[in-house]
Amino acid sequence: MEMENMDGLCVTDCERCPALVESRSRIVNGTGPEDASILFLGEGPGANEDEQGEPFVGRSGSVLDDALRDVGLARADVRITNCVRCRPPENRDPTKEELSNCRGYLEREIDLVDPDIVVTLGKVPSQHLLDRSVAVTKEAGSVSDARLGESSRRVLVCLHPAATLYDRSQKEAFEETIRQAAELAGVSDESSGQSRLGDY
Ligand code: URA
């Protein structure tokens, strides 16, 4: 798929969503290895992300970083991206049209990274990929296949990291899903320990 306004995995210019062009200060592209085995998908950039040009750099990002560290992973080991790449005004949810305008960029990124598992952080990305209504609190930890462009992808539903800030009782469920993601991708502490042993 050729896209003249993409440079590899990065969207360089786009003006498809007038309200987002107005509210953004930049396009926030995904970050992390181009061959990551886990890809995290958020909703869209917030104020911090818009300012720094990187997904999940605010408080939600710290929650994600901590949970990754607990399973022996670093932010630099995973791909992190969003359903829309421009900050919506007043942090509102992206509209159906905005999600669909950005869909091709997302599909291309997922296609090229080719992760073993896509982890949807919260309701908006879960519903966007599974194309149905999702009760994230109930469905966190469930894995299903989603059609993305030409291919089918394994999708793991996860709470949004910010949910753990509003409600501490959600923290364990969030951490458990991150652990599950590492296991499904074969990069958990346990599996990497085994492959390291095999190297000797
Ligand atoms: N929340 C999201 O969904 N995405 C970000 O990049 C940051 C916070």
For the stretch 21-56, pLDDT in tens is: 999 999 999 999 999 999 999 999 999 999 999 999
- Banded pLDDT at 190 (limits 50, 70, 90): low
Handedness of CA 84, 85, 89, 91 (dihedral sign): positive
For the stretch 137-160, pLDDT in tens is: 999 999 999 999 889 999 999 999
Probe residue for ligand 1, chosen from 20, 27, 31, 43 as the CB with the greatest number of ligand atoms within 8 Å: 43
| Per-residue model confidence (pLDDT) at position 198 | 39
Closest CA to 85 of 50, 131, 60, 111: 50
Q: Which domains does the chain have, with CATH numbers?
A: 13-186 (3.40.470.10)
| Contact predicate 26/94, CB 8 Å | no
For the stretch 58-98, pLDDT in tens is: 999 999 999 999 999 999 999 999 999 999 999 999 999 99
Report how far residue 159's alpha carbon sits from residue 135's, in angstroms, rounded to the nearest whole number: 10
Report how far residue 105's alpha carbon sits from residue 152's, in angstroms, rounded to the nearest whole number: 16
What's the gap in Å between 128 CA and the centre of ligand 1?
15
